[in-house]
Amino acid sequence: MKRSLTLEIALTHLLTKRKQTVVAMLGVTFGISMFLVMISFMTGVNDFTKNLAMEEAPDIRIYNPLEIEKNTIIAKAAPDTTGNLYVVHHQRPKNVVPKLRNAIMLAQSLEAMPEVKGVAPQVATQVFFNNGPIRITGSLQGIDVKKQGELFTLARKMDAGQLIDLLGINDGVILGYGLANKMNVGIGDRLSITTSEGSILMLRVVGIFSYGLADFDNARAYATLATVQKVMQRDPSFITDLHIKMYDNSQAKAMAATISKRFGVHAEDWSTANAPLLAGESIRFAMTGIISFTLLLVAGFGIYNIMNMNIINKLKDIAILKATGFESRQIVGIFLWQSAIIGLLGGIVGLLLGYGFCVALSHTPFPGGSVVRIATMPVNFNPQHYIMGFCFGVITTVLAGFFPSLKAAKVDPVQIIRG
Amino acid sequence: MPILQAKQITKYFHEPETVQVLKGVDISVEQGEFLSIVGKSGCGKSTLLYILSTMDTDYEGTLNIKGEKLNGWSQNQLARFRNENLGFVFQFHFLLPEFTALRNVMMPALKLGKYSYAEIEQRAIDKLRMVEMDGFAHKMASKLSGGQQQRVAIARALINDPAIIMGDEPTGNLDKVNSQRVFEIFQELARQNHQTIITVTHDQDFAAGSDRIIVMSDGQIVRE
Ligand SMILES: Nc1ncnc2c1ncn2[C@@H]1O[C@H](COP(=O)(O)OP(=O)(O)OP(=O)(O)O)[C@@H](O)[C@H]1O
Ligand SMILES: [Mg+2]
């Protein structure tokens, strides 16, 4: 009974000051809806880029990196002449063969590990793609078609043709969308490639893929392992990369270390290889956080002001209520209810409005140009964001209303009643 | 045993400079008494009344109402005590403007929570009838005339059947006819319900009609 009495008084105050109530509500509404739009769009962009890079990227990549030998040959040759100082100027990298030793055996041992979902061997090389006078550099990746199809998304990213078409003919190739455009070739057309060693091979286009990322689509092509080994004039045991997919990719970093140690190979995990991408993500998150916080803070200050004004206007009422026996906590209750109601209503409308904005945004064409190819803005619809925004909004409003309410409870009725 | 007993009430104001407004006032009121406090403007009548009403706790001396020694009670305890035992009528009517007359009258009873909602509503209508305002029960308080508002305020003061009803110039803003009516209501409360009335007034006729008059001057009671 008593609680509903404070609620009733609160509601009456809100309803008689409708304009002011709506203005206060709009502050919350605006804060929450903008917060939702910001965070949904930001995480949408994050997820989009991350997925693009992540789906196709291996969790762990094993390859032979190009490294400068740290110890000079002289030091190796005479290890016990301690105290000697060797200086070698302008040391050249030694000719590292990109070949992974015992790659097939290694792949089998890796696949036997319980955390590993699968291992796809690759032969990657830089080539020129030629069509008439056009010469474009790019990378040609020889893949195990079956493994690649199972572990990675390539099969689903085909604009034209199919991944398995590579198996149908000799010397087929699948080109990136941008690359095919620049070369002006389509399915069934032929083009030649030249390796850095100078060997040439004619390939027939059997498919065109598009990940939506210019880095990949403009400069990459896939063929079978055998085709690439042939153009490089290598034997079938020649493998340059092992691409590992794990069941749980959060374990990749630890796993990469284990593999390096156990097999004595260079294993690099996804987060190391894509550090800049992840850094960009955390910066975007920090920005979203700061802006959202500011929005809610501004809404909070708005409510603080409005509640303060409200209480100054209601000094007489407060004095009457206290004189007729209302206790401090009930006075606090009356004004706290008001800000809670403003927060709840403003929050609900904010959620709806924010959702509306997000839907509209997700239908807005994305001006990605040639860098990323997606039709519309990437927007994330995560219920957690809505819960978070609503809670933040209501908490901010209630806090903003709390301090003015305490002030109301401290009003001395005598001063006001005597005038 | 008097229903209200105050001893050696002394009060200072410190702003803008320290002045002693009440200088050891002793006052004792019996149940059912209709008491008027009169005196020159500025002599401390209102100040005394607000101390007796328990709203002002910043004083020296002792205050007993209904056998309870109220010194040292917390603000919330005093609020509950007022709610149940004291009724107020102010010079300026002071209703809650956004509520109907009926709602205003019901408010202290809803706070007290002693009766059911329906009973409270019925009691409020009865009190309004007593001040001949039942016809305006559902009108907004802000839409009533000054005299009407004052009568609603009296009904509100009566809703919890308080032992003592206090008024600070309750007729100060009313014309002759309305003042007379308020006087009659107070007299009836004292005679028939044995409720105690303590009013501060400048109205000679009003004071003359009451049971007892206290005259104050410069913070002291000079004549009873
Ligand atoms: N809040 C205050 N601060 C300082 N002095 C005050 C305050 N309130 C009242 N006074 C002073 O205390 C004295 C008594 O005031 P009080 O209001 O009790 O007089 P009163 O007898 O009710 O006068 P009136 O008949 O005009 O209402 C006055 O001199 C007044 O100036
Ligand atoms: Mg006065």
* Residue from B14, B47, B50 to probe the interface with A (highest A Cβ count within 10 Å): B50
DSSP character for B32?
T
Domain C-terminal end among A270, A292, A321: A270
Secondary-structure breakdown of chain B: helix, strand, coil percentages, each rounded to the nearest 5: 40, 25, 35
Is A389's pLDDT higher than 90? Answer: no
pLDDT score of A66: 67
Residue located via tokens 């939702």: A36
Helix (H, G, I), strand (E, B), or coil: what is residue A296? helix
- Measured in whole angstroms, how far is the alpha carbon of residue A273 from the centre of its chain? 15
Residue type (1 letter), A59: D
Helix crossing, A252-263 with A103-111: angle to 10°?
130
Which tens digit of pLDDT belongs to each residue from A101-137? Answer: 888 888 888 888 888 889 999 998 999 998 888 888 9
The C-alpha atoms of residue A250 and residue A255 are separated, in whole angstroms, by 9
Q: Are residues A192 and A285 in the same domain?
A: no
User: A142 Cβ partners below 8 Å, 6+ apart?
Assistant: A122, A123, A124, A222, A223, A224, A225, A226, A227, A228, A229
pLDDT score of A79: 65
Spell out which residues of chain B touch residue A327, defining contact as CB-CB under 8 Å: 75-76, 79-80
Model pTM? 0.73
The whole domain housing A256 covers 61-67+97-270
* A13 shares contact with chain B (CB less than 8 Å): yes
Which ligand has an atom closest to residue B90 CA?
2
- When CB atoms are compared, the residue of A2, A12, A417 closest to B98 is A12
Distance B39 CA to ligand 1 centre (A): 12
Is A76's pLDDT higher than 70? Answer: no
Q: Are residues A393 and A287 in the same domain?
A: yes
pLDDT score of A1: 45
Q: Are residues A114 and A195 in the same domain?
A: yes
Q: Are residues A148 and A36 in the same domain?
A: no
Percent pLDDT > 90 in chain A is: 19
Residue type (1 letter), A58: P
pLDDT score of A103: 84
Q: Are residues A125 and A221 in the same domain?
A: yes
Mean pLDDT taken over chain B: 91
The predicted model gives A301-313 an average pLDDT of 87
Q: Are residues A17 and A137 in the same domain?
A: no
The DSSP annotation for A15-64 comes to HHTHHHHHHHHHHHHHHHHHHHHHHHHHHHHHHHHHHHHHHHS-SEEE--
Cα torsion B206, B208, B209, B211 to 10°: value is 120
CB A13 within 8 A of CB A313: no
Phi and psi angles of residue A81, each rounded to the nearest 5 degrees, phi first: -85, 65
* A417 shares contact with chain B (CB less than 8 Å): yes
pLDDT score of A101: 81
Which ligand has an atom closest to residue B45 CA?
1
* Residue B13 in contact with ligand 1 by CB distance below 6 A: yes
In this structure, are strands A172-176 and A241-246 parallel, antiparallel, or unpaired?
unpaired
In this structure, are strands B19-29 and A190-195 parallel, antiparallel, or unpaired?
unpaired
Which tens digit of pLDDT belongs to each residue from A333-366? Answer: 999 999 999 999 999 999 999 999 999 988 888 7
CB contact under 8 A, A324 and B90: no
Is A3's pLDDT higher than 60? Answer: no
Q: Are residues A44 and A103 in the same domain?
A: no
The predicted model gives B206-214 an average pLDDT of 92
Residue type (1 letter), A246: M
Q: Are residues A50 and A106 in the same domain?
A: no
* Number of residues that make up chain B: 224
* A18 shares contact with chain B (CB less than 8 Å): no
Which pair of tokens denotes residue B216? 């104050």
- When CB atoms are compared, the residue of B55, B110, B117 closest to A323 is B55
Q: Are residues A199 and A324 in the same domain?
A: no
In a domain, A82, yes or no: no
Q: Are residues A326 and A395 in the same domain?
A: yes
In a domain, A87, yes or no: no
The predicted model gives A394-405 an average pLDDT of 90
Which tens digit of pLDDT belongs to each residue from A241-285? Answer: 899 988 887 888 888 888 888 888 888 888 777 777 777 778 887
Helix (H) or strand (E) holding B96: none
Q: Alpha helix (H) ranges present in A325-382?
A: 328-362
Contacts for A312-317 with beta carbons within 8 Å, 24 or more apart?
A314/A13, A314/A408, A315/A411, A315/A416, A316/A416, A316/B94, A317/B96, A317/B97
Which tens digit of pLDDT belongs to each residue from A150-173? Answer: 888 888 888 888 888 888 888 899
Measured between its terminal Cα atoms, the distance across chain A in Å is 32
In a domain, A338, yes or no: yes
Q: Which residues face B164 on adjacent strands?
A: B86, B196
Domain count, chain A: 2
Nearest to B32 by CA among B9, B1, B62, B11: B1
Is A319's pLDDT higher than 60? Answer: yes
Residue type (1 letter), B74: S
Which tens digit of pLDDT belongs to each residue from B45-104? Answer: 999 999 999 999 999 999 999 999 999 999 999 999 999 999 998 877 689 999 999 999
Nearest to A62 by CA among A25, A19, A26, A109: A109
The complex's ipTM?
0.92
In a domain, A192, yes or no: yes
pLDDT score of A270: 82
Nearest to B29 by CA among B86, B84, B107, B113: B86
* A280 shares contact with chain B (CB less than 8 Å): no
Closest residue on chain A to B105 (Cα)? A324
Mean pLDDT taken over chain A: 85
Size of interface A-B (CB pairs under 8 A): 70
In a domain, A263, yes or no: yes
Distance B42 CA to ligand 1 centre (A): 5
Q: Are residues A134 and A258 in the same domain?
A: yes
Integer Rg of chain A from CA? 33
pLDDT score of A80: 66
* Residue B10 in contact with ligand 1 by CB distance below 6 A: no
Of B36, B45, B50, B173, best ligand 1 pocket probe by most atoms within 8 Å of the beta carbon: B45
Domain C-terminal end among A270, A285, A308: A270
Q: Are residues A109 and A249 in the same domain?
A: yes
In a domain, A83, yes or no: no
In a domain, A92, yes or no: no
> How far does A324 lie from chain B, in Å, by closest CA?
5
Which tens digit of pLDDT belongs to each residue from A187-240? Answer: 999 988 998 888 888 999 999 998 877 778 888 999 999 999 988 888 888 898
Phi and psi angles of residue A212, each rounded to the nearest 5 degrees, phi first: 95, 0
Is B211's pLDDT higher than 70? Answer: yes
In a domain, A84, yes or no: no
Domain C-terminal end among A246, A270, A294: A270
pLDDT score of A70: 61
Helix (H, G, I), strand (E, B), or coil: what is residue A339? helix
Which ligand has an atom closest to residue A414 CA?
1
* A328 shares contact with chain B (CB less than 8 Å): yes
Please, what are the domains in chain B? 34-43+79-223 (3.40.50.300)
Distance B156 CA to ligand 2 centre (A): 21
* B108 shares contact with chain A (CB less than 8 Å): yes
Distance B219 CA to ligand 1 centre (A): 10
Distance B69 CA to ligand 1 centre (A): 26
Of B15, B25, B43, B214, best ligand 1 pocket probe by most atoms within 8 Å of the beta carbon: B43
Q: Answer left, alpha or beta for residue A147, where phi above 0 means left and psi between -120 and 50 means alpha.
A: alpha
Which tens digit of pLDDT belongs to each residue from A40-74? Answer: 888 888 888 777 777 778 888 888 876 655 666 66
